[in-house]
């Protein structure tokens, strides 16, 4: 099966940031088979099985959302401006999450991710076997992490029950899918004890599974580690052995210079999922990404859950990233738009350990692509396509999305699913949750 | 002519923030004639001339963009991340703006404003008689200000030529239109000499015309006033008599506590157009809006020009406002979403001196309305409609827009104009500008 996409402005995000203003890209089965200026299209490819006219839109690698909780759609727009929302709102209400509600939320969220051009993501929540199943069914690429936390949760009555869950989950899903990789997701260093965190390391080694964790996100977390260990959470996790594993740390808002040195020394083992929208909506702060990148640390962008940043798209994050990082560093020239698009695509792929497969448009890579139309009113003129993506575009400009060569979004609609059905199903499943929210 | 809008979630933004979850609103000619819960709709209104089904969307007062340069669409995505862009890029390239290019840009920009739900705005640029004409033709509400600056400009070869232009412009347009009000727009306190600024005051008095100006936006502006006057620009303008006029100050990023006291003392004469997106994209800083509002100063939101913030919609600004103001003030609870929607609607109307006519949905007010659909994937669930507007929505969610009772946007399309034609016309007019940009 050959799909030819033409009449596109190709942004490859390869090592030389090659672009083709009037380009083509050919997908053969699951991979990128050829690409270049339209004039160089070999004659024998004229007869592709499927020809997609990009109408002059921007074709780039699919966005990679490095930190999500896709089971949490039911929480969106609930108690947004409440201090200590996690402990006052989210933890108590999470007791009302059920397997079928997480499934309905995940399907809806995957639809939302795809419609905004996200082709890969890294998730952390409960009932993750069902999340993995939804990803597989809907054809999206994901790292899927079951949460481990030292309190009873909706999918495990005893504290740290996520450990047992993870063992089963990793057994079931390791090496099973081309798209879905099971991982371990300890909630945070301050919400797990040392014993549990050590067991997680062992599981990670045994299954060769990456770990993702919220780290240095909360001021009270930093304070607790200072008091109990005279260390930062990052120093403590490093000592515990986490930096020898494949480790994706979300947030790291309060990373110190010494923390950054430690992360840099761990070379590519330890990567950062930067969630500027969630971090600033909650007034927590702005992670020191400039310093991290100066230390060659790998960084990707993430939205956090749909209740933390209220969106799952990376357009909103790119804009917030630009404005916050420039303003915090008092430097307009810092992070020109191209670097930000790179963080949202290739940087994310590197963060999730997927860069050999995806993250740039190159022959032989898996075809994870997003087509962003330039017909809408906000997308003219385009002197610089990266600027247009970062400063002008929004998720509504995404027209088509491919994952692993399969067209999942076409003309701004999901190809294989009805959004109305996904919503109706979620709405139905939410009845008990809504009642609990009203009583809370 | 009676238009009945039903099946809507009404957010009136009146003094009590009244909402009706299943409401109706009746427009009679140009005004809001009735509104309330659907069950209270009087029987004799069943037969309106036009019935609009809102499909459960949010109906609220049209957004008010308090600071724009709608002639500047040609600059969008050009040199975005360049330091001192104003003097290195914008001023030199502005020499290539022509009357017909400003007209084409303005028409396009008005289309963009309307499609994003903006029903009123305050503009500052060149050839503003043609801008006024475009606003009038397209049926949007605007304060339209000709720029005065102490250098040659595209519409006047001699420095401060805007003064003569303004006199003619005010003569032609004062009290001429129900929608369009001509105003004076001195560029900034550091780009006009005292003599010119005094003449502007006299013109403002003679024509009873408001003034808008960039104030306390640039660090070099602050430094110049410190050196030359041992004052802040705001103190200096106050002394010059500007605070006795109807005065809209854009930006005020560097307003001091003493400045804020002065503004507060001027009661409602002096209002603030806060442009968080443009101010932070350029790394300038975050204006002290919390302190201003604590002093009962009137504040509205603005995008600045389409090259400064790259959008003209207030959804992007509401999101940036929330995240920046919360994070800068280290307070998640500060500015709950409802207050931000208020700033973007009623606050803007107050800032432009239009609050008696528009800015809230109340019987007898002019019907300036925006309908935001909740069918798109990003708009579910909605526990709090204000949260959905601030944190989840984007400009693409705007379905319908009325100005002065006239339906200008329907099903996400301009009713009276073809966007493709507006763009084609602008593209054609831009040829010379594009050449100049390439050579710059």
CA gap B153, B143 in Å, rounded: 21
A-chain CB neighbours of B90 within 8 Å are none
Is B53 near chain A, with CB under 8 Å? no
pLDDT digits 0-9 by tens, B96-155: 999 999 999 999 999 999 999 999 999 999 999 999 999 999 999 999 999 999 999 999
Contact A337, A391 (CB under 8 A): yes
Closest residue in A to B284 (Cα–Cα): A327
Please, where are the H alpha helices in A57-161? 85, 91-94, 99-115, 128-138
What is the number of CB-based contacts under 8 A between chain A and chain B?
188
Q: Using alpha carbons, list the distances in angstroms from residue A423 to A90, A325, B29, B377.
A: 22, 35, 38, 8
Number of H helices, E strands in chain A: 17, 16
Contact A109, A312 (CB under 8 A): yes
A-chain CB neighbours of B330 within 8 Å are 283
Name residues 397-436 of chain A within 8 A of B (Cβ). Answer: 397, 419, 423, 426-427, 430
Residue B141: helix, strand or coil by DSSP? strand
In percent, the amount of chain A with pLDDT more than 70 equals 100
* Residue found under tokens 């504040």: B299
pLDDT digits 0-9 by tens, B32-71: 999 999 988 888 776 789 999 999 999 999 999 999 999 9
Mutate to test the interface with A, among B138, B290, B381 (most CBs of A within 10 A): B381
In the predicted structure, residue B267 carries a pLDDT above the cut 90: no
Is B387 near chain A, with CB under 8 Å? yes
User: How does B319-346 read in b/e, with b if 16+ C-beta sit within 10 Å?
Assistant: bbbbbbbbbbbeebebbbbbbbbbbbbb
* Cross-chain residue pair B326–A281, CB shorter than 8 Å: yes
pLDDT at res. B291: 98
Q: What is the Rg, in whole angstroms, of the alpha carbon atoms belonging to chain B?
A: 21
Concatenating the DSSP letter of every residue in A68-83 gives E-GGGGGGTTSSTT-T
B-chain CB neighbours of A85 within 8 Å are 332
Nearest to B313 by CA among B344, B288, B357: B344
CA distance A377 to chain B (A): 6
Is A81 near chain B, with CB under 8 Å? yes
Is B381 near chain A, with CB under 8 Å? yes
In the predicted structure, residue A289 carries a pLDDT above the cut 90: yes
In the predicted structure, residue B321 carries a pLDDT above the cut 90: yes
Section B397-420 average pLDDT: 98
Contact B163, B185 (CB under 8 A): no
Nearest to A115 by CA among A417, A423, A395: A395
Query: Which of A285, A286, A311 is opposite residue B378, by nearest beta carbon?
Result: A311
Contacts with A175 (C-beta within 8 Å, 6 or more apart), sequence order: none
* Confidence band of A82 (pLDDT split at 50, 70, 90): confident
pLDDT at res. B163: 96
CA gap A250, A218 in Å, rounded: 12
Nearest to A83 by CA among A282, A247, A249: A282
Is B383 near chain A, with CB under 8 Å? yes
Mutate to test the interface with A, among B76, B322, B401, B430 (most CBs of A within 10 A): B76
Is A117 near chain B, with CB under 8 Å? no
CA gap A199, A216 in Å, rounded: 21
In percent, the amount of chain B with pLDDT more than 70 equals 100
Name residues 147-206 of chain A within 8 A of B (Cβ). Answer: none
CA distance A378 to chain B (A): 7
B-chain CB neighbours of A320 within 8 Å are 319-320, 323
CA gap B266, B297 in Å, rounded: 9
CA gap B300, B314 in Å, rounded: 10
| φ and ψ of A40, to 5 deg | -95, 5
* Cross-chain residue pair A381–B76, CB shorter than 8 Å: yes
* Cross-chain residue pair B396–A397, CB shorter than 8 Å: yes
Nearest to B63 by CA among B345, B440, B347: B345
* Cross-chain residue pair A108–B427, CB shorter than 8 Å: no
CA gap A3, A45 in Å, rounded: 10
Contacts with A35 (C-beta within 8 Å, 6 or more apart), sequence order: A10, A12, A20, A23, A24, A25, A26, A361, A362, A363
Contact A54, A385 (CB under 8 A): no
* Residue found under tokens 């019907």: B367
Across chain B, mean pLDDT equals 96
Cis peptide before A381 (omega within 30 of 0): yes
Number of H helices, E strands in chain B: 17, 16
Please, where are the H alpha helices in B116-244? 128-138, 162-173, 194-207, 219-229, 233-240
Contact A49, A2 (CB under 8 A): yes
Contacts with B45 (C-beta within 8 Å, 6 or more apart), sequence order: B2, B4, B26, B34
B-chain CB neighbours of A286 within 8 Å are 327
Contact B63, B344 (CB under 8 A): yes
Report the run of H or E that residue A196 belongs to, with start and end.
helix A194-207
CA gap B145, B122 in Å, rounded: 8
| Token pair in block for residue B371 | 């309908």
* Cross-chain residue pair A396–B391, CB shorter than 8 Å: no
* Residue found under tokens 């033409």: A6
Closest residue in B to A114 (Cα–Cα): B377
Residue B184: helix, strand or coil by DSSP? strand
Section A237-263 average pLDDT: 98
Is A21 near chain B, with CB under 8 Å? no
The length of chain B is: 440
Contacts with B157 (C-beta within 8 Å, 6 or more apart), sequence order: none
Closest residue in B to A333 (Cα–Cα): B81
CA A277 to chain centre: 13
Nearest to A78 by CA among B331, B57, B384: B384
Strands A19-28 and A2-11: antiparallel
* Cross-chain residue pair A283–B82, CB shorter than 8 Å: no
Is B81 near chain A, with CB under 8 Å? yes
Q: In chain B, what are the domains? A: 2-61+365-404 (2.30.40.10), 63-351 (3.20.20.140)
Is B438 near chain A, with CB under 8 Å? no
CA distance A112 to chain B (A): 6
Across chain A, mean pLDDT equals 96
Closest residue in A to B418 (Cα–Cα): A377
* 3-class secondary structure per residue, A268-331: CCEEEEECHHHHHHCCCCCCCHHHHHHCCCCEEECCCCCCCCCCCCHHHHHHHHHHHHHHHCCC
CA distance B367 to chain A (A): 24
Report the run of H or E that residue B276 belongs to, with start and end.
helix B276-281
Mutate to test the interface with A, among B85, B219, B251, B327 (most CBs of A within 10 A): B327
Nearest to B62 by CA among B132, B99, B115: B115
CA distance B172 to chain A (A): 32
CA gap A141, B54 in Å, rounded: 37
Is A438 near chain B, with CB under 8 Å? no
In the predicted structure, residue B351 carries a pLDDT above the cut 90: yes
* Cross-chain residue pair B326–A280, CB shorter than 8 Å: yes
What is the sign of the dihedral through the CA atoms of A167, A168, A169 and A173? Answer: positive
CA distance A175 to chain B (A): 32
pLDDT digits 0-9 by tens, B203-258: 999 999 999 999 999 999 999 999 999 999 999 999 999 999 999 999 999 999 99
Section A5-13 average pLDDT: 97
pLDDT digits 0-9 by tens, A352-365: 999 999 999 999 99
Mutate to test the interface with A, among B84, B101, B323 (most CBs of A within 10 A): B323
* Residue found under tokens 């399309």: B413
Bridge partners (DSSP) of residue A366 are A31
* Confidence band of A138 (pLDDT split at 50, 70, 90): very high
Residue B435: helix, strand or coil by DSSP? helix
* Cross-chain residue pair A384–B76, CB shorter than 8 Å: no
Mutate to test the interface with A, among B11, B72, B76, B81 (most CBs of A within 10 A): B81
CA distance A83 to chain B (A): 6
Q: For A89, what's the count of Cα atoms within 13 Å in the CB-facing half-sphere?
A: 19
ipTM of the complex: 0.97
| Token pair in block for residue A335 | 């992070």
Query: Which of A77, A330, A391 is opposite residue B283, by nearest beta carbon?
Result: A330
CA gap B282, A245 in Å, rounded: 39
Closest residue in B to A434 (Cα–Cα): B383
| Token pair in block for residue B407 | 């339906």
CA distance B68 to chain A (A): 15
Section B338-358 average pLDDT: 98
* Confidence band of A45 (pLDDT split at 50, 70, 90): confident
| Token pair in block for residue B276 | 């968080």
In the predicted structure, residue B367 carries a pLDDT above the cut 90: yes
CA gap A205, A228 in Å, rounded: 28
* Cross-chain residue pair B334–A383, CB shorter than 8 Å: no
* Residue found under tokens 């140009």: B30
Kindly tell me the burial class for residue A64, based on how many C-beta atoms sit within 10 Å of its own C-beta (0-12, 13-18, 19 or more): buried
* Cross-chain residue pair A381–B73, CB shorter than 8 Å: yes
Is B327 near chain A, with CB under 8 Å? yes
CA gap A95, A152 in Å, rounded: 8
| φ and ψ of B332, to 5 deg | -60, -30
């Amino acid at each position: 099966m050959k799909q030819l996409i033409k009449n596109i402005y190709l942004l490859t995000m390869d090592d030389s940031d090659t672009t083709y203003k009037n380009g083509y890209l050919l997908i053969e089965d699951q991979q990128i088979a050829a690409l270049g200026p339209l004039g160089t299209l070999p004659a024998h490819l004229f007869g592709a099985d499927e020809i997609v006219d990009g109408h002059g839109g921007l074709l780039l690698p699919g966005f990679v959302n490095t930190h999500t909780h896709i089971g949490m759609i039911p929480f969106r727009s609930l108690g947004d401006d409440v201090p200590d929302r996690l402990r006052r709102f989210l933890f108590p209400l999470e007791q009302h999450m059920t397997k079928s509600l997480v499934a309905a939320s995940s399907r809806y969220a995957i639809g939302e991710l795809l419609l905004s051009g996200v082709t890969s993501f890294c998730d952390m929540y409960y009932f993750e076997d069902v999340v993995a199943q939804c990803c597989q069914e809907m054809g999206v690429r994901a790292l899927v992490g079951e949460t481990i936390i030292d309190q009873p949760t909706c999918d495990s009555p005893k504290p740290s029950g996520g450990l047992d869950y993870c063992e089963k989950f990793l057994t079931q899903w390791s090496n099973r899918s081309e798209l879905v990789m099971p991982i371990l997701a300890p909630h945070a260093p301050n919400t797990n004890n040392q014993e549990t965190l050590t067991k997680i390391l062992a599981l990670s080694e045994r299954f060769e599974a990456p770990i993702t964790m919220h780290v240095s996100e909360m001021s009270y977390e930093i304070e607790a580690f200072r008091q109990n260990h005279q260390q930062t959470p990052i120093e403590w996790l490093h000592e515990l052995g986490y930096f020898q594993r494949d480790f994706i740390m979300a947030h790291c808002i309060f990373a110190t210079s010494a923390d950054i040195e430690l992360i840099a020394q761990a070379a590519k083992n330890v990567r950062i999922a930067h969630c500027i929208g969630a971090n600033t909506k909650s007034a927590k702060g702005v992670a020191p990404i400039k310093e991290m990148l100066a230390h060659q640390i790998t960084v990707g962008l993430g939205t956090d859950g749909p209740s933390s940043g209220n969106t799952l798209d990376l357009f909103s994050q790119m804009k917030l990233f630009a404005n916050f990082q420039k303003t915090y560093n008092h430097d307009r020239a810092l992070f020109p738009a191209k670097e930000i698009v790179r963080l949202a695509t290739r940087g994310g792929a590197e963060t999730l350990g997927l860069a050999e497969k995806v993250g740039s448009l190159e022959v032989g890579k898996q075809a994870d692509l997003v087509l962003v139309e330039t017909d809408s009113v906000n997308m003219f003129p385009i002197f610089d396509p990266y600027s247009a993506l970062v400063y002008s575009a929004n998720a509504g400009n995404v027209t088509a999305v491919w994952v692993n060569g399969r067209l999942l979004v076409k003309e701004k609609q999901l190809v294989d699913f009805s959004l109305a059905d996904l919503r109706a199903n979620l709405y139905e499943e939410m009845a008990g949750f809504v009642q609990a929210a009203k009583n809370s």
